[in-house]
Amino acid sequence: MHPNAAAYFRTGRPRLCFLGYRQIRELAMPVVAEYTGRADIELVDGSFDEALAIARDRIERGAVDAFVSAGSNASILRAGLQTPVATIQVTGFDLLQALIKAREVAARVGVVMYGTTIPELDAVKDLLNIEVRQHAYRTPDDARIHFEALRRAGYEAIVGSSLVVELAQEAGLHGLLAYSPASIRKGFDDALELARVARLEAGRYEQLHSVLHNLQEAVIAVDRQERIIAVNPPMQQLLGGQGERLEGRVLQSVEPALSLRATLDSGQQERAVAQRFAQRNWVAHRTPIREHGEIVGAALTLYDARNIEAADTSLRAMQRRQQHAARHSFDSIIGTSQALRDVIASARRFARTDLNVLITGESGVGKEVFAQAMHNESDRAGQPFVAVNCASFPESLLESELFGYDEGAFTGSRRGGKRGLFEAAHTGTLFLDEIGDMPLPLQTRLLRVLQEREIMRLGGTAPIPIDIRVIAATHQPLTELIAERRFRQDLYYRLNTLRLALAPLRQRREDIAALVLPIVMRCLARFGSTLDARLALAPLMQRLTAYEWPGNVRELENLSERIAVFLLQFATLDEVPYDALRHDCPELFPDGEPTADASDVDPARRAERVRDAIRRAGGSPTAAARELGISRSTLWRWLKELEQPEALSGDA
């Protein structure tokens, strides 16, 4: 539909064009007057090819929304146009009235109508006591031949279409039009309904055009007959450039390679189908268009394969950054103990190589932290860091996670298959935690991967080359597992190229304070507490450093947060009853003794603790207050109560 028509439909009345011969036009004049308030109606004389040319002119100018016509004109317009055409139909009552009028002037009446003859006339002529002879025509020449035959046979009254009536009048015979005002009125009612539907479609198509115009993909839509109803600029360019009008043409005839006929017939959607067109590779989506469950059209979208490849690369890179990224570095590892400094120095050396590394140590010592730090200081930094815990999957699932699978490899497998973690880690690092828990069959497959640097998906037939560095970790004694035939010796030597042994926390107790303090500080700040974390931890530090920490750093993080949550309920350190912490952190109170609670109200006990703290601090009020877990002002108040302020050295 012309864009001017869509705009007019939103603001004005429907525009109808009545196309026909003079005779039917004159009969229609009174009816047209009845509809002047409901539509803008143009009356135009024309027939056959002339009528079609007139109609196309009106359509090109966007001056019409629906046509009204009769007989041959209506058939020609419907066949040659996409714009709606309402047909004025001859009813049985119309024909009966015309025959009654014809009987008044002649006993023999000829009937010449467009299309086919009417068998029911044989019964009517007997009732009317009239001789009727009828013919049907398809072209103007047919009409003239049949008319001449009737005239030579002596028929003086001719009933028929406008063309036949005109021929009769030119020959001096009685010509009676086989239509009535009621039939014409029905034709206009049909035209208004067609215009209403066209208005809805025009709005829909205009909205569709607006959406498609802003898409970079090439899109085309067709109706149920595969006539093009919408095409956006990229598709227009592919199909012939901006100068060629495609709307209304059949897509199959415009470009057979893009035909949507199969989609219209099957009603099935086709997605991500490779298509070669215009010397380029595309990904085609063919989708049926449904309204109220019925197929009313179809749409084709062509995605440039080059753009899809670029987007896939970008998405995969983003996915790697988000899901397979190493967050830790050596600078984020806290502690100053000699054991920690030694292992960091070794790890930094290992990071500069591309050799496999085996990290050993108890659970919770930070094996993955060191693996991430080595990755981030290696040449593979910025590439994927993929971690998998070999103890957290059953054997069958771990195999598919590591190696991936091709489509149809097993019941329930994802359509299109799935890449495994080896592929996800390509060009980066794969961290295999708890390698000692890997099942023996998978150990064999892993050994082959390390030797051949290629993997085979489950159900696959072609090996896939990979470029990865493997860092493995375990808390188990692998040499004992080898003796028990639970771990492959050859895999052990392949993984144990470089070995990093992490000391448990109990062997580097000097790092405990540095680890606990920032955790408690962050937790207090997050929940709005103004307590000084260093002073708050001072009464607990002896217990923290004495604890064995079987869960190592992971346990320390957990317990530190419990301490912080306990402290949150107090506004000042003077209020903190440290002995009550035994309910939240029983690990720190194995002997049942209370902690050195600086807020103890027993004056004698307080005096003893204060004197001991001052002595150990060498007279420093800051150090003494920190050990007691109180502020300096509280320390001065207690000393005044004891009348011993001279015990302090008076440092700032």
List pLDDT tens digits, range 583-592: 889 888 876 5
Dihedral angle of Cα 610, 613, 616, 620, to the nearest 10 degrees: -90
- For 30-81, what is each residue's pLDDT tens digit? 988 999 888 999 898 877 778 888 888 888 888 888 999 988 888 888 888 8
CATH number at residue 82: 3.40.50.2300
Shared domain check, 527 and 489: no
Count CB atoms within 10 A of the CB of residue 172: 9
Of residues 619 and 502, which shows the higher confidence score?
502
State pLDDT tens for residues 261-287: 999 999 999 888 888 888 888 888 999
pLDDT at residue 652 in the model: 46
Instruction: Give the three-class secondary structure for 503.
Output: coil
Mark whether 238 and 335 lie in a shared domain.
no
Residue 208, pLDDT above cutoff 50: yes
On whether both 61 and 134 belong to a single domain, the answer is no
Q: Produce one character per residue of 326-365: b if its CB has 16 or more CB atoms within 10 Å, e if not.
A: bebebeebebebebbeebbeebeebbeeeebbbbbbbebb
Angle at the Cα of 237 from the Cα atoms of 234 and 240, rounded to 5 degrees: 150
Whole-number Cα distances in Å, 238 to 246, 278, 286: 12, 7, 17
- Residue 213 is assigned to a structural domain of this protein: no
Do 187 and 156 lie in a common domain? no
Q: Is residue 478 a part of any domain in this protein?
A: yes
Structural domain count, the chain: 5
Helix (H), strand (E) at residue 108: strand 108-114
Q: Return mean pLDDT, the chain.
A: 84
**Band (103; pLDDT cuts 50, 70, 90):** confident
Residue 127 has pLDDT above 70, yes or no: yes
Kindly state whether residue 312 falls inside one of the protein's structural domains. Answer: no
Per the domain annotation, does 98 fall within a domain?
yes
Among 280, 307, 334, the domain-final residue is 307
Q: Residues 220-242: what's their mean pLDDT?
A: 85
Q: Which two tokens stand for residue 190?
A: 């049909």
List the single range of 86-100, 187-201, 311-325, 361-375 with lowest mean pLDDT: 311-325
| Judgement on whether residues 390 and 426 belong to the same structural domain of the protein | yes
Residues 518 and 474 occupy one common structural domain:
no
| Domain carrying residue 36 | 3-89+183-194
319 within some domain: no
- Write down the pLDDT at residue 50: 84
Residues 375 and 499 in one domain: yes
